[in-house]
Structure 1
């Protein structure tokens, strides 16, 4: 899990994926025939082979913030990038990127600074970042409207008896880790596999749209993360319960043919799986599935607690079982999967 920790501690807010892309490219290039970056910033790693042409996709980007306004005292008002629960932001440490120099700051609000009790949940417009610098000092660092703000990294840790990994950007550095491990394990397989690390999933699935169009795979699988509901008496998505096969989410119904192939592989090899049936959330599977004339697509997701917050929690056994499931399934992939 050392590589996963590196991925979690790297930065890559939607639209600013350069650092994480460089790390992923460095790690995966030894396992494939070629890697390249397309016009929108997706990293594509290709293991050449015979039919079928397979696309495995995981988004690189993470949620974050962007500078919206700076007042004379140096208060940095921000806008969110991706879906973030505002209640989880207060008191969090962030790094404001500058053209010349970065600034570390803390998210706060006036009521906390003055000692007044907070009587209701604040709005995003009530929050600001305090770096201890005024507007002029921030300007000298090259900090201005439009600069990215990322959550502080290097806080990756293990919980429980060591089986739970905690950190920022589990959504979706877990998926990136799974793809790199699969590339390592499937080097000698004969199939034509594209490992695609997409950009801007958290805001638009823009990267998945363009990469699916250019690759035109026979079918595709998205590797992502999903919420847990294991606080309920009858949970369907629990930490430790195995990878989740998407039946439906807010925007997509998983391809039945691909899902059955994955289910059969799991049953044959005694791999625990779960089913994701949700009214919320979406993945790159939507835009891939409607690309060109339609691409049969599903998503396999690793459960994450506190998803879309500054720090989440995932069970390493679920990650390992996701890799195992996909590795075994991809040894005998269907040549065609329609319905």
Structure 2
């Protein structure tokens, strides 16, 4: 699964511009799928198997990024965030500007040199409206001649790297690890009911894709595969997160004080009873943070929905970190959970 995750992480797919990662995912499941379609919103929907029941798994395929907001006269690019990209994640990063002409331009997001920072507050991170990309352009016309237009997408120029002790790092682990798990579980599926895998669009900007797909599919139950902020780094408080990498996967109880999904008792029982004894897992409850599960759960007349998460360090940055064993164990758990789905629903 490591090589699959590497390919997914290194394929760009900012919210609203997911076609390249959608094409890659489609290639990875086409031999096993009974059907694959892309709906009008951009969700990739794959079906496998048949029967009286339908289980849906959801993993959003979009990533945070930026967009070209304005081109200055002297050839710099003012940017706007797309999703949860913030100055602390952007400054002094190398980026790729994906131009309207199809050319990729290497750029950097800089800040005032430290040599010139004297007074209090001068070293503070710039506000988003002051952030800019430098691609080495001579002026505005130079950028326009190279195909840069307002609305073009910008991604981090980072690749997948292996660390020690089974850790890996790269951009877009949120949520390409969920996509990798969904691909593996979908390809391994061999049960007497229908499995529908949805690789949803635009989660990072309002969980939009899952709202549409779940209404159309209307499954008997659903599982969302996601990341969660890990708390096992310096300066993280246990009340902010007590999920540690290397401790397995998480099963969500309640999201965002109930503003997100409140996992139905039937789903809790199904997931926990399958995880108990055989797997390393933890029960997850956060005061902040929501996933696609809330929209799926409230679709139509109500779809019983659960969430399986992989603890991930440094979320919404260019250098997100997770431990592969957590995801690999989660896939084994999904295989077991799929095997007795019909006993619970």
Structure 1-normalised TM-score? 0.94
How do 1:270-281 residues align onto structure 2 when only pairs under 5 Å count? 270-281=278-289
Name the residue aligned to 2:187. 184
TM-score (norm 2): 0.92
Cα deviation for residue 119 of structure 1 reads: 2.9
In 2, Cα distance between equivalents of 1:97 and 1:56? 31
Kindly state the Cα deviation for residue 299 of structure 1 after the two structures are TM-superposed: 0.9
Choose which of 206, 215, 221 in structure 1 pairs with 2:208.
Answer: 206
- Cα distance, 1:184 vs structure 2: 1.8
SS of structure 2 residue aligned to 1:103: strand
Q: Which residue of 2 aligns with 1:225?
A: 227
Q: State how 1:33-48 maps to structure 2 within 5 Å.
A: 33-48=34-49
Cα separation, 2, equivalents of 1:30 and 1:335: 29
Q: 2:218 aligns with which of 216, 219, 229?
A: 216
Is the CA contact (8 Å cut-off) linking 2:270 and 2:344 kept in structure 1?
no
Match in the other structure for 1:167: 170
Distance 1:292 1:336, change over 3 A: farther
Q: How many residues align?
A: 332
Give the equivalent residue in structure 2 for 1:88: 89
Q: Following superposition of structure 1 onto structure 2, how do residues 1-339 of structure 1 map, counting pairs within 5 Å? A: 1-100=2-101, 101-109=103-111, 111-112=112-113, 115-117=116-118, 118-133=122-137, 134-153=139-158, 155-161=159-165, 163-186=166-189, 188-231=190-233, 232=237, 236-250=242-256, 251-268=260-277, 270-334=278-342, 337=345
Taking structure 1 as reference, are residues 244 and 191 closer, same or farther at Cα in structure 2, changes over 3 Å only? same
CA deviation after TM superposition for structure 1 residue 233, in Å:
6.4
Matched residue of 2:232: which SS?
coil
Write the deviation string for residues 233-269 of structure 1: whole angstroms up to 9, x where unpaired. Answer: 686310011111111122221222112111111114x
Q: Quick check: 1:198–1:207 contact (8 Å CA) kept in 2?
A: yes
Q: Please, which runs of 5 or more residues in structure 1 have no aligned partner?
A: none
Q: Contact 1:223–1:301 at 8 Å: present in 2 too?
A: yes
Q: Secondary structure at the match of 2:214?
A: helix
CA deviation after TM superposition for structure 1 residue 86, in Å: 1.6
| SS of aligned partner of 1:93 | strand
Structure 1, 61-70 or 246-255: larger mean CA deviation: 246-255
Query: Distance between the aligned counterparts of 1:201 and 1:26, measured in 2?
Result: 22
Following superposition, the deviation at residue 114 of structure 1 comes to 8.1
Instruction: Answer whether contact 1:52 1:335 (CA < 8 A) is retained.
Output: no
Shift of 1:335: 5.5
Quick one: distance in 2 between partners of 1:13 and 1:239? 26
- Give unmatched runs, 5+ long, in structure 2: none
Q: Distance in 2 between matches of 1:263 and 1:203?
A: 30
Q: Counterparts of 2:238 and 2:17 in 1: how far apart (Å)? A: 40
Moved more, 259-268 or 230-239: 230-239
Q: Conserved in 2, the CA contact under 8 Å of 1:102 and 1:141?
A: no
